[in-house]
Structure 1
Amino acid sequence: MDRRKFLRWSSFITVSAASTTVLTACGGGGGDGSSSGESDAGSVAQSFSLGVASGDPKPDSIVLWTRVDGGDGVAPVNVSLQVALDPDFKSLVLNTMVSAEPQWDYTVRSKVTGLAANTVYYYRFGAGAATSMTGRTWTAPVTGQSLAQLKFAYLCCQDWSVNHWAAFDTLQNEDIDFILHVGDYVYEQLNRPSFVTPVRDPQHGEFVLPDGAKLADGSIYATSLADYRMLYKTYRSDPRLQRVHARWPVIATWGDHEFSDDAWQDHQTYTADDSMPQTARRRNANQAWFEFMPADVPFDQNNPSFQNIQVYRAFAFGDLATFVMTDERLYRADHEIAEQTTGGAIGSRYVVSKSAVDSAEQARRTAAANALTPVSMLGDTQRQWWQNQMSNAKTVWKLWGNEVPLMRMQMDGFKTVVDAVTQAVISVDASLPPLESIFHSAIQADLSDALAQNLRPAPFSRLHQLGQQGGFSESDILTTIAALNQMLPPYSLMTLLLINADIWDGYDAERKSLMQFLASSGVRNVVALSGNLGAFIAGTVMDDFDAATPQPVMVDLVTAGISATSLSMQYEAFLNSTAQTQPWLNPLLSGGGLAPFGDSLKTNNPWLTYVDPDAQGYAVVTLTPGTLTCTYTKMNPIVGGAVPAANNAIAGTQVVVVNAGTAAVTVATP
């Protein structure tokens, strides 16, 4: 194998240098491949049905992407690539040939160097008689250059199977420089019962994975390289997503669903006994992401481990912003509480006792001489890299492309139950509501005693006494107490609960370490751009959420998914599924103790400044030296099976502002 072929196999990225002078225009983008020295792929006509894309803009380079249809699976296809300063391609700066290889599913990734900074370019590919759509891209400003403004959108969670993708059309109206994607570009699992809703984008039909594996609930998940390629090819077939890629460069990291739901390293978590490594599956997911994303990252197919790719990287835009993109799946440790001990996700990753997570984390650290390695999300090497990037950044803002939210999201399960039981008691008699505070105090004390002594059923002695004082019959009092005991959940839930331990709440020791580093190093103006939650949330990240007086260190801005199931709908699905197996939940719900989810989040988490837990959409950030302004754009849902019309696609917007020099968020008034 010659050296050129070996390099193409080992890294699958071609590098072409643009001319410093304008080349002579040569018309269309098609090429006969005569300069390539390689054969065309038979007589099948070529095309570019998945469009084009660009990514990772730097001051002097950009990565350009396409995929060629029509290959025979054996021979490469010769592809011409043209880059110009104008959409008519009269001012060419690059006119070259590249090769689409069958080993890489005929995808093309070409890094074009020698470009001018802060410049718009146009590009297109050709094969045989076919010419791709024209792409538009942009290079970053020179590092250190004074910038008055930078504007970009950030997205996540574009599930093909639920809700709609009208946000991509709405996005076309935004005046932005580039797009940040913080994960869940594809979803590896099809027909998920707990998340499939009656509404789905009518442009999104069913599709079948070539191989796939079936779970007990009937869902199918990707396993083979062909499966993961099929996911990307299906998603990229949507013309709205194609238009987004053709218009702006994208800087992307991945979430869990590019491999497996709530994944860690090369492990899946679908069932409680998923303890075996899935190395081959992880490598397949890595390769497909590498093939289909226009990212300037190293990938080594010859490396037999699952860590054969590095997606964490950093970008600088003038003197205004440094973007630090992290990988929060490939190196993370297992969740603190194993699914095997709880029988599934509930109690291990979701609705988890905070004290149990803290104890498990401390036990791991003690066994590792207090090292963060067994409780880390980033891993030791990436964590040190993150610290270096943050401390060495010379820009005003340090923006963290962060897959999962950093802010604590907890709920006081004990208070929730006390409130619900109180409401149930005072509802039995119209004369009781004025005495709510008295009943609340008695019930709180009764349940505190029951928890401390592990008494089941709870005796409710103080409540019993109040009933006697109120003239109720002994029979009625005992009947009421028996009914109240039916409302009580397992005592393990009547404590401070973490809503989601798959996010940074499940990796608290490392979060504290990162915040301590920022504070002690004097690194300011750090803002995380997060996703993966199905909600718009803005707030402050504290140095230690458990401290008596926690201090703000940085800001976290969470965007809702393009189409993924919202946080409140996930919460509702959880309640509905739990009610089928846990007899206490329906009485608890009917007791009125569960406030609307968004209200509960704000009440239990004072560092959350803005919360909309039932949303799909995206965020647009306008950055200046003095302010970061983030506009959350919320989409209207599908109604009657129809995607909302273009003039009615947006349900509303909300602006939040971060002023330079402060670790605080202000919610702008309409």
Structure 2
Amino acid sequence: MDRRSFLRNSGFWTASVALGGLAACGSNEDSPATPAPQPATGSNWQFPQSVASGDPRADGILLWTRVIPASADAVASAPGAGDFSIRLIVTAADNAALIGTTIALTGALAVDSNIAVYARYDHTLRNKVSGLKANTEYFYQFVAGDIRSRVGRFRTAPAAGADVAELRFAFITCQDWTVNHWAGFESLANENIDFVVHLGDYIYETVGEAFQSGAVETRHDALVLPDGAFKSGTSGAKYATTLADYRYLYKKYRTDRRLQALHERMPFIATWDDHEFSDDCWQDAETYDNGTYDAGTGTGDNTHQTDRRRSANRAWFEFMPADVAYDETTTSFSNVRIYRDLPFGKLAHFVVTDERLYRADHVIPEATPGTGGTPLGSVGARYFVPADMIAAAEASKMSKVAAGSDSLAPVSMLGTTQRDWWKKTMSASPATWKLWCNEVSLLRMGLDGTAAVATLLSLLSVGTLTTNITTAAGTLGGDVAQASALVAATTAGADKTVATTAAAAIAAAIGASGDPVAAATSAGLTTTQANLAVTAYRASAAASGASAQATAGAQVIAFGYMKPDIIAKGAASSFVGGLAGALAPYFTRFLLNCDQWDGYNAERKHLMAHLKTNSIRNVVGLTGDLHSFHAGTVSDDFDATGAGTPVMVDFVTAGMSSDSWFKYFTDATTGSLLSTLVFSPLSVAVSGVGTIDINFNVFDYTLQRSAPTLDQLAEQARLPIRRALGAKGVTEADLDAKTNEALATLKSTPAFSGNLLGLATQLASLNSNPWIKHMVSDAQGYSLVTLKPDGMSCVFRQLNPLVGTTAPTTAVASSTSFTVARDVVAVTRVS
């Protein structure tokens, strides 16, 4: 259905034309105006969710509000209020001082319209204003009887073909009401920007989920769905299932004054992700359970909930200020089209996609039986998926498509129609910068399981090797370096007697400035054994103190010999030992998140090939979903030799409040061997406070982060320590001092300066995803973009954590800046 047909079937759309002051209610520009209901009168009115604007264009904007009787509850529906009309006024006169107040606007009016408000749309209204001047700041206000809404502001887009020197905006995502805090909205409202791109997860459909059990600011009370369905059995977490549920969530979220203030000051360009309907959804299917599996066809399917999907669609349309098409008459779940594009002169072109409503099922359905015959579940289908398995499944699905049909259809995220639109839009865009408002990450996020397990087992062996070296030193007169050489040789298979003789020969040769390797081979070691023993000896001798010497020697043995042996032999390595059975499935290459573009690789390659073949430059992804900060380049084929050719850049912003990606992996791996690849438990004593415990993030090094210095490692602990101190009751005024004290203590602790620094260094050596140039997986925050004809900058603003159950007074903890030069597919960190 095309846009005009959508509008023709929608009863929830009004328009105002500047200067004429006329309001057309109903279907579209070509229809006669529908008579408006009687005007609201008196003072019994309120605007409980304030006002909002969206999708700025050169000649107009979409304006939104909700108005109900003052006696009604702010988040309950008020059908008894009936239908009525209110007034909309818009002016270009400077009313900046009035933003967020209910004081009457001043100045000549560009728009003065009567707008219908209908009970059947929960008394929300969406009014499209046209006929405005390009690149102009306007102020607007709604009036119901004697009551005025707060004043809102927006700026129209530059005219088509206009030269634009600079454009500033933010992009945000993932704002869970039930965890952490929303101080970031207040900070963002004070940034020098013109609009906000929202990449989805504006609401979370669940209440009481495990990931929503963390600390939350007290100003956010508990959510209570009007209806709701239990996710499992008759107790525990619930999810939104009716229109009333979804409406309630939008209304409740929008009662937060900080989010209201942001909407009042900035237009939004919004899309959705999964939680506006259901976690990791596709089309009208939920993925809370594994679904069903058909052994005859070898395919799986999830539970389809068409009515629930339609309710989610309608609530989003009612409450988000987006100029999109919606059809309330069809019975299809695909009754809204939110993919669209917005040009900003010759400088920028925003291409907004919908990556949920048209996507095919995950390439490997959750119900697919694993080697044990039980369903894979989310792990193995969506998360931690063997790369070879998903590649084979994708190829199999594509091979079964009839000749002449869309071979990408069964493995597509965008769907055929939207994909063709995306390609045409990108090809035809005259703008310098093409900004793809993209819900899920385009960056490959893989892990070589063999190298990771080898690193893990080597790390675990350091303690035992250190003990063995210390014990051997006791028989060698306390000579730890010589003991390190002895243990190194025996670990590599040498006879102990021969190794003892060789260790002494190495010591003598080094003391006489001779050739220690030759001395060791003359004593009976192989060349491999001799080289390892000499390296261990030198590393141990260079350390200060017996304990550090033993650890240094142990690390050489673990990472210089054991790790390469495990990588070469896999589960057959003698160093895997009794863990071979448990770890055997991990000796392969994995993709960590196949709900994102890694799970739809064929279509990603197709889109990237389109950019490359047609020389479409300066494409930048603005991405949400992942609850972490990432910056990197996207290749035409990550599976090609050398990982292919970079064709675009992707910036992934952390969630505004949702718990981090790191937190999810920490919870998932706690109690297993794999936890060593994700976090390291630390305890720190702080005067006047006691001992605080944190899980130090090493996940970033496992996936892609450079080896740190000691100072860099300590700085990474700052916010987790601050969070832990706040939870202990330390006031915000004392947090910096106490945090610095804890960091100084950590840096002087061998377990941190030695063991943890070594761990981070070893994990960084995996070099898992070299195209990712920056990653912080344990973060909340937002991102700012400054766009110019010759380049762009992107700043990641990371937020301070809760102070107990109170949002921090200073919201922003740190900022990290990047640049992208025009016509260069690369990300450069500048601070």
Does TM, normalized by the shorter one, top 0.5? yes
The amino acid of 1:354's aligned partner reads A
Give the direction of change, closer, same or farther, for the CA distance of 1:446–1:541 in structure 2 (3 Å limit): closer
CA distance in 1 between partners of 2:151 and 2:8 (Å): 25
Give the direction of change, closer, same or farther, for the CA distance of 1:79–1:556 in structure 2 (3 Å limit): same
Q: How far has the Cα of 1:43 moved from its partner?
A: 8.7
Q: How far has the Cα of 1:276 moved from its partner?
A: 2.4
Q: Secondary structure at the match of 2:85?
A: strand
The amino acid of 1:236's aligned partner reads R
Q: What corresponds to 1:28 in structure 2?
A: none
1:85 has 2:102 as partner? no
Gaps of 5+ in 2: 1-5, 23-33, 70-77, 96-104, 293-301, 369-374, 470-486, 488-551, 682-695, 705-766
Q: What corresponds to 1:319 in structure 2?
A: 346
The amino acid of 2:377's aligned partner reads G
1:178 has 2:195 as partner? yes
- Say whether the 8 Å CA contact 2:570–2:587 is kept in structure 1: no
Give the direction of change, closer, same or farther, for the CA distance of 1:7–1:142 in structure 2 (3 Å limit): closer
Q: Secondary structure at the match of 2:10?
A: helix
Q: What corresponds to 1:650 in structure 2?
A: 812
| Superimposed CA distance per residue, residues 195-216 of structure 1 (whole angstroms, 9 cap, x where no aligned partner) | 421x212211012111111112
CA distance in 1 between partners of 2:287 and 2:176 (Å): 19
Give the direction of change, closer, same or farther, for the CA distance of 1:495–1:37 in structure 2 (3 Å limit): closer
1:358 has 2:391 as partner? yes
The amino acid of 1:289's aligned partner reads W
1:623 has 2:787 as partner? yes
Which of 189, 195, 201 is the equivalent residue of 2:217?
A: 201
Which of 703, 714, 718 is the equivalent residue of 1:601?
A: 703
Q: What corresponds to 1:501 in structure 2?
A: 594
| Superimposed CA distance per residue, residues 212-234 of structure 1 (whole angstroms, 9 cap, x where no aligned partner) | 11112711100100000000000
- Say whether the 8 Å CA contact 1:124–1:131 is kept in structure 2: yes
The amino acid of 1:206's aligned partner reads A
1:372 has 2:399 as partner? no
Instruction: Report 1:258-657 matches (<5 A).
Output: 258-273=276-291, 275-341=302-368, 342-369=375-402, 371-430=407-466, 431=469, 432=487, 434=553, 441=561, 444-445=564-565, 449=569, 451=571, 460-461=573-574, 463=575, 484-486=577-579, 489-549=582-642, 550-576=644-670, 579=671, 585=674, 596-602=698-704, 603-645=767-809, 648-657=810-819
- Say whether the 8 Å CA contact 1:36–1:97 is kept in structure 2: no
1:16 has 2:16 as partner? yes
The amino acid of 1:191's aligned partner reads G
Give the direction of change, closer, same or farther, for the CA distance of 1:276–1:442 in structure 2 (3 Å limit): same
| Superimposed CA distance per residue, residues 598-657 of structure 1 (whole angstroms, 9 cap, x where no aligned partner) | 111112000011111111110110000011100111100002222111xx2211000010
Q: How far has the Cα of 1:10 moved from its partner?
A: 1.8
| Superimposed CA distance per residue, residues 358-390 of structure 1 (whole angstroms, 9 cap, x where no aligned partner) | 111111111115701100100010000000110
1:210 has 2:226 as partner? yes
CA distance in 1 between partners of 2:799 and 2:699 (Å): 19
Give the direction of change, closer, same or farther, for the CA distance of 1:363–1:625 in structure 2 (3 Å limit): same
- Say whether the 8 Å CA contact 1:77–1:106 is kept in structure 2: no
Q: How far has the Cα of 1:587 moved from its partner?
A: 8.7
Q: What corresponds to 1:69 in structure 2?
A: 68
Give the direction of change, closer, same or farther, for the CA distance of 1:89–1:252 in structure 2 (3 Å limit): same
- Say whether the 8 Å CA contact 2:10–2:329 is kept in structure 1: yes
Larger radius of gyration: 2
The amino acid of 1:597's aligned partner reads F
CA distance in 2 between partners of 1:374 and 1:487 (Å): 37
CA distance in 2 between partners of 1:538 and 1:446 (Å): 32
CA distance in 1 between partners of 2:262 and 2:680 (Å): 48
CA distance in 1 between partners of 2:114 and 2:223 (Å): 34
Give the direction of change, closer, same or farther, for the CA distance of 1:213–1:42 in structure 2 (3 Å limit): farther
Give the direction of change, closer, same or farther, for the CA distance of 1:415–1:591 in structure 2 (3 Å limit): farther
Q: What corresponds to 2:518 in structure 1?
A: none
Q: How far has the Cα of 1:488 moved from its partner?
A: 6.1
Q: How far has the Cα of 1:658 moved from its partner?
A: 0.3
Q: Secondary structure at the match of 2:458?
A: helix
Q: What corresponds to 2:535 in structure 1?
A: none
Q: How far has the Cα of 1:73 moved from its partner?
A: 3.6
Q: Secondary structure at the match of 1:234?
A: helix
- Say whether the 8 Å CA contact 2:456–2:677 is kept in structure 1: yes
Q: How far has the Cα of 1:491 moved from its partner?
A: 2.4
CA distance in 1 between partners of 2:88 and 2:40 (Å): 18
CA distance in 1 between partners of 2:92 and 2:269 (Å): 22
Give the direction of change, closer, same or farther, for the CA distance of 1:118–1:492 in structure 2 (3 Å limit): same
Give the direction of change, closer, same or farther, for the CA distance of 1:284–1:605 in structure 2 (3 Å limit): same
- Say whether the 8 Å CA contact 2:36–2:84 is kept in structure 1: no
Query: Which segment drifts farther, 623-632 or 265-274?
Result: 265-274
Give the direction of change, closer, same or farther, for the CA distance of 1:588–1:320 in structure 2 (3 Å limit): closer
The amino acid of 1:374's aligned partner reads P
CA distance in 2 between partners of 1:517 and 1:8 (Å): 34
Q: What corresponds to 1:454 in structure 2?
A: none
Q: How far has the Cα of 1:435 moved from its partner?
A: 6.3
Alpha-carbon RMSD = 2.5
- Say whether the 8 Å CA contact 2:198–2:268 is kept in structure 1: yes
Equivalenced residues, count: 616
The amino acid of 1:212's aligned partner reads G
Q: Secondary structure at the match of 1:79?
A: strand
Give the direction of change, closer, same or farther, for the CA distance of 1:543–1:98 in structure 2 (3 Å limit): same
Give the direction of change, closer, same or farther, for the CA distance of 1:131–1:36 in structure 2 (3 Å limit): farther
Q: How far has the Cα of 1:20 moved from its partner?
A: 6.8
- Say whether the 8 Å CA contact 1:540–1:555 is kept in structure 2: yes
- Say whether the 8 Å CA contact 1:420–1:589 is kept in structure 2: no
- Say whether the 8 Å CA contact 2:151–2:264 is kept in structure 1: yes
Q: How far has the Cα of 1:343 moved from its partner?
A: 4.0
Task: Tell me the TM-score normalised to structure 2 length.
Answer: 0.71
- Say whether the 8 Å CA contact 2:366–2:377 is kept in structure 1: yes
The amino acid of 2:226's aligned partner reads P
CA distance in 1 between partners of 2:39 and 2:801 (Å): 46
Task: Tell me the TM-score normalised to structure 1 length.
Answer: 0.87
Answer 1 or 2: which has greater helix percent.
2
Q: Secondary structure at the match of 1:429?
A: helix
% identical aligned pairs: 44
The amino acid of 2:82's aligned partner reads A
- Say whether the 8 Å CA contact 1:658–1:665 is kept in structure 2: yes
- Say whether the 8 Å CA contact 1:487–1:588 is kept in structure 2: no
- Say whether the 8 Å CA contact 2:36–2:116 is kept in structure 1: no
Q: How far has the Cα of 1:194 moved from its partner?
A: 3.4
Q: What corresponds to 1:32 in structure 2?
A: none
Q: How far has the Cα of 1:586 moved from its partner?
A: 6.8
The amino acid of 1:434's aligned partner reads G
- Say whether the 8 Å CA contact 1:353–1:492 is kept in structure 2: no
- Say whether the 8 Å CA contact 1:320–1:624 is kept in structure 2: yes
- Say whether the 8 Å CA contact 2:9–2:329 is kept in structure 1: no
- Say whether the 8 Å CA contact 2:679–2:697 is kept in structure 1: no
CA distance in 1 between partners of 2:12 and 2:210 (Å): 38
CA distance in 1 between partners of 2:43 and 2:165 (Å): 51
| Superimposed CA distance per residue, residues 334-359 of structure 1 (whole angstroms, 9 cap, x where no aligned partner) | 11111112442111111111111111
